[in-house]
Amino acid sequence: MLQNLGFFILLLGVLVTVHELGHFLVAKACGVKVLKFSIGFGPKIIGFTKGETEYQVALLPLGGYVKMAGDLPHEELPPEEAARGFLAQPPWKRGLIVLAGPAFNLVFPIFVYFFVFLGPQETLSTRVGMVSPDMAAAAAGMRPGDRILKVDGEPVRTFDDMRDAFVGRFERPVPITLERDGQERVVQVTPERSSEVSPVDTVERGMIGVSPYPQPPVVGVLAGSAAANAGLKSFDRVLSVNGVHVQDEAALYREVAKVAEGTPLALIVARLQPVAVGAVSGRVPEVKQVTLPRQAGEGPSALGAEAVDLYVATVASGSVAEAAGIQPGDRIVAINGTPLKSFNKLATVLNGLQAQPFTLTWRGEKGERTEKLAQAPLKTRDDYGQTSAPLVFGVRPWSYSSADLPPVEKVTIDLGPAAAFKEAALIVPKIVGQMVQVLGGLVVGKVSPSTIGGPIMMYQLAAKSAEQGMDSFLNLMAIISINLGVMNLLPIPVLDGFHLLSAAWEGIRRRPIPVRVREVANMVGLALLILLMLLAVTNDVTR
Active site (catalytic) residues: 20
* Interior angle at CA 15, CA 10 and CA 20, nearest 5: 125
CA–CA gap between residue 427 and residue 110 (Å, rounded): 8
Is residue 88 packed enough to be buried (19+ CB in 10 Å), middle (13-18) or exposed (0-12)?
middle
Asked if 210 and 189 count as a contact pair (C-beta separation under 8 A), the reply is no
Q: What is the DSSP letter of 301?
A: G
* Interior angle at CA 261, CA 256 and CA 263, nearest 5: 80
Q: Nearest Cα to 172, choosing from 156, 184, 188, 196? A: 188
Asked if 116 and 475 count as a contact pair (C-beta separation under 8 A), the reply is yes
Tell me phi and psi for residue 380, to 5 degrees. Answer: -135, 160
Contacting residues for 56 by C-beta, under 8 A, at least 6 apart = 36, 37, 38, 39, 44, 45, 46, 47, 48
CA–CA gap between residue 416 and residue 119 (Å, rounded): 6
CA–CA gap between residue 135 and residue 301 (Å, rounded): 18
